[in-house]
């Protein structure tokens, strides 16, 4: 099915543009005339092409509104301008103060407005209308119009688990790329800092990045540095369309889906894929079946590639729980969302940390492993390694899972001489270190 935008690209006349929008918006009772499309709720000014500014289109539309006001006729609660590339929506009440003082010199007809009228209208309405680029935001526009008709308000689109990835991609295009001097791989953290903020307060304390304001403009703080926006227009337009913060019931879930926003090549390199909760459920049932119903009490659990901790959220005995992972940002997200708050959570690179030059394990190299875990390992206590490790193999193919960097870690280069080809598998590297470090541990790996 072709989209609104695709259909608009085939429009041959202004009439086509009107008809395409009428259909896409599902308008039922309307008339076409001087006011291009007129419904009880919205008046539309339409143009073919995309060259005429929204300001100019609104100026024409406001001429009719002024006319109606002068004649004491009914005016609609909303005004919209539409063309082949863009659309914009505004509440009529917001511009009434401008029309009431009757200072604007309108032209003979709506389309022959003098430049002064355009300037005066433009200076006033910029803060009120919400604009949508149709190629990227047609759904948001359609929704906003439908909700405006239903509720009498311009309601911003919600950020939900279903549109998180699309919203993030649009955020990168309109805001992320305008942030001066920031690395692409940090976009996801800055995105979360931005969306989890209501304009005054952040919804979570201690997120890895923070949104601040300087001279009334947004700035981002990450790892002790401040990052400013080169251009604030995209920021204004983006947040005119979306509502923030997201509904409270989604917030933690959205934060934990950072993996889904990490660029694909970095993600497959780190194996940053999330274990769906249904798989976690099935895994816990299986563990109860195999290890007995008291396994959460009897076993010390270590997940050394825990990401944001999905595998452990069902665990009910956090004091027996050790969770470590490669990215400090994941640990920070767990702290901010209070995931497994009572567990031991720490950054630890399982394939590089605490490995001596001759492939032995020496915890004093980083001192990151909690003493209680070291003791459990020393004493050969019952340990369950519960993990969903990264999978990637060194190869010659161009498949993004085949990364030259995979073997380049301390463990595979110092401790896996006798493992042949297996030494090039990330997954095997984890298993071999576990075998060396905790030879009596039980390993549990969920599989779909
Ligand atoms: C498949 S994900 C599983 C994440 C989490 N357990 C879950 O189920 O949602 C693998 C995780 O291992 C982490 N990881 C990759 N290399 C690692 C390393 N050398 N040491 C520790 N963690 C690592 C990745 O950052 C990623 O979060």
The Cα 307–Cα 168 span in angstroms is 20
Q: Which of 119, 151, 183 is the last residue of a domain?
A: 151
Does the Cβ of 351 fall within 6 Å of ligand 1?
yes
Q: Is residue 77 part of a domain?
A: yes
Torsion of CA 266, 270, 274, 275, to 10 degrees: 150
In a shared domain, residues 59 and 84: yes
Does the Cβ of 182 fall within 6 Å of ligand 1?
no
Does the Cβ of 350 fall within 6 Å of ligand 1?
yes
Q: Is residue 156 part of a domain?
A: no
Q: Is residue 104 part of a domain?
A: yes
In a shared domain, residues 37 and 67: yes
The per-residue pLDDT for range 101-158, each reduced to its tens digit, is 788 888 888 888 889 999 999 989 988 999 999 998 999 999 999 999 999 999 889 9
The Cα 130–Cα 124 span in angstroms is 14
Does the Cβ of 275 fall within 6 Å of ligand 1?
yes
Closest ligand 1 atom to the C-alpha of 426?
16
- Identify which of 390, 406, 443, 445 to mutate to test ligand 1's pocket (most ligand atoms within 8 A of the CB): 390
The rounded Å distance from CA 305 to ligand 1 centre is 4
The per-residue pLDDT for range 194-233, each reduced to its tens digit, is 999 998 889 998 888 999 998 888 999 999 999 999 988 8
3-state secondary structure at position 4: helix
Are 300 and 380 a contacting pair, CB within 8 Å? no
The rounded Å distance from CA 172 to ligand 1 centre is 25
The per-residue pLDDT for range 66-116, each reduced to its tens digit, is 999 999 899 999 999 999 999 999 999 999 999 987 888 888 888 888 899
Exposure on the CB side of residue 381, measured as CA atoms within 13 A? 17
- Identify which of 277, 309, 313, 325 to mutate to test ligand 1's pocket (most ligand atoms within 8 A of the CB): 325
> For residue 352, what are the domain limits?
277-444
Tokens standing for residue 105: 């010199």
Cβ within 8 Å of residue 200, ≥6 positions away? none
Q: Is residue 270 part of a domain?
A: no
Picking from 177, 161, 180, the residue whose alpha carbon sits closest to that of residue 169 is 177
Q: Is residue 267 part of a domain?
A: no
In a shared domain, residues 172 and 251: yes
Specify the pLDDT at position 268: 55
Does the Cβ of 176 fall within 6 Å of ligand 1?
no
The rounded Å distance from CA 112 to ligand 1 centre is 63
For every residue of 296-356, DSSP letters joined together read HHH-EEEETT-TT-GGGTT-S-GGGEEEEES-HHHHHHHHHHTTTTTSEEEE--TTTTTB-
- Identify which of 307, 348, 430 to mutate to test ligand 1's pocket (most ligand atoms within 8 A of the CB): 307
Specify the pLDDT at position 258: 78
244: pLDDT strictly greater than 70: yes
The Cα 342–Cα 361 span in angstroms is 27
Number of domains in the chain: 3
Q: Is residue 272 part of a domain?
A: no
Are 36 and 48 a contacting pair, CB within 8 Å? no
Does the Cβ of 272 fall within 6 Å of ligand 1?
yes
Does the Cβ of 325 fall within 6 Å of ligand 1?
yes
> What is the CATH number for 290?
3.40.50
190: pLDDT strictly greater than 80: yes
Does the Cβ of 310 fall within 6 Å of ligand 1?
yes
In a shared domain, residues 173 and 287: no
Q: Which of 151, 177, 198 is the last residue of a domain?
A: 151
Place of tokens 């099915």: 1
In a shared domain, residues 202 and 130: no
Q: Which of 261, 296, 321 is the last residue of a domain?
A: 261
In a shared domain, residues 184 and 122: no
Q: Is residue 157 part of a domain?
A: no
251-255 contacts, C-beta under 8 A, 24 or more apart: 251/196, 251/203, 251/204, 251/337, 252/337, 252/339, 253/161, 254/159, 254/161, 254/164, 254/192, 254/195, 255/192, 255/196, 255/204, 255/207, 255/308, 255/333, 255/336, 255/337
The per-residue pLDDT for range 341-400, each reduced to its tens digit, is 899 999 999 999 999 999 999 999 999 999 999 999 999 999 999 999 988 765 433 333
Instruction: Give the DSSP H or E segment for 170.
Output: helix 164-174
In a shared domain, residues 291 and 402: yes
Q: Is residue 159 part of a domain?
A: no
In a shared domain, residues 119 and 171: no
Place of tokens 């999330």: 274
For every residue of 397-436, DSSP letters joined together read S--TT--GGGG-SHHHHHH-GGGGGGGGBHHHHHHHHHHH
Quote the pTM value: 0.68
The Cα 173–Cα 117 span in angstroms is 33
């Amino acid at each position: 099915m072709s989209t609104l935008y695709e259909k608009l690209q085939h429009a041959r006349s202004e009439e086509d543009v009107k008809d395409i929008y009428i259909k896409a918006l599902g308008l039922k009772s309307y008339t076409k005339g001087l006011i291009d499309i007129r419904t009880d709720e919205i008046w539309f000014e339409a143009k073919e092409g995309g060259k005429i500014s929204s300001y100019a289109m609104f100026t024409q539309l406001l001429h009719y509104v002024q006319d109606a006001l002068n004649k004491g006729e009914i005016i609609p609660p909303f005004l919209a301008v539409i063309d082949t590339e863009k659309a914009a929506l505004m509440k009529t009440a917001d511009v009434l103060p401008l029309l009431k003082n009757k200072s604007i010199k309108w032209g003979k007809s709506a389309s022959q407005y003098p430049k002064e009228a355009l300037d005066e209208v433009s200076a006033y309405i910029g803060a009120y209308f919400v604009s949508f680029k149709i190629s990227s935001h047609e759904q948001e526009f359609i929704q906003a119009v439908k909700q405006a008709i239903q509720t009498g308000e311009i309601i911003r689109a919600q950020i939900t688990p279903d549109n998180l990835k699309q919203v993030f991609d649009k955020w990168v295009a309109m805001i992320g790329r305008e942030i001066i001097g920031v690395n692409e791989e940090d976009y996801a953290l800055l995105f979360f800092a931005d969306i989890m903020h209501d304009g005054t307060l952040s919804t979570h304390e201690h997120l890895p990045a923070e949104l601040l304001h300087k001279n009334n403009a947004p700035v981002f703080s990450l790892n002790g540095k401040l990052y400013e926006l080169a251009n604030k227009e995209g920021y204004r337009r983006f947040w005119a369309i979306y509502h923030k913060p997201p509904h409270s019931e989604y917030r933690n879930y959205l934060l934990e889906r950072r993996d889904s926003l990490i660029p694909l090549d970095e993600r497959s390199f780190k194996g940053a894929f999330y274990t769906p909760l249904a798989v976690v459920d099935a895994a816990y049932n299986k563990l109860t079946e195999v290890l007995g119903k008291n396994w959460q009490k009897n076993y010390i659990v270590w997940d050394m590639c825990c990401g944001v901790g999905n595998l452990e959220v069902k665990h009910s005995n956090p004091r027996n729980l050790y969770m470590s992972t490669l990215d400090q940002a994941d640990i920070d997200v767990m702290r901010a969302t209070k995931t497994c708050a009572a567990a031991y959570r720490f950054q630890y690179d399982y394939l590089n940390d605490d490995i001596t030059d001759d492939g032995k394990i020496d915890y004093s190299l980083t001192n990151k492993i909690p003493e209680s875990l070291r003791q459990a390992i020393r004493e050969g206590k019952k340990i369950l390694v519960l993990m969903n490790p990264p999978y990637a193999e060194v190869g010659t193919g161009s498949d993004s899972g085949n990364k030259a960097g995979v073997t380049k870690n301390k463990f595979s280069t110092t401790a896996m001489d006798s493992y042949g080809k297996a030494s090039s598998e990330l997954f095997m590297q984890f298993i071999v270190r576990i075998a060396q470090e905790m030879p009596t541990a039980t390993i549990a790996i969920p599989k779909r």
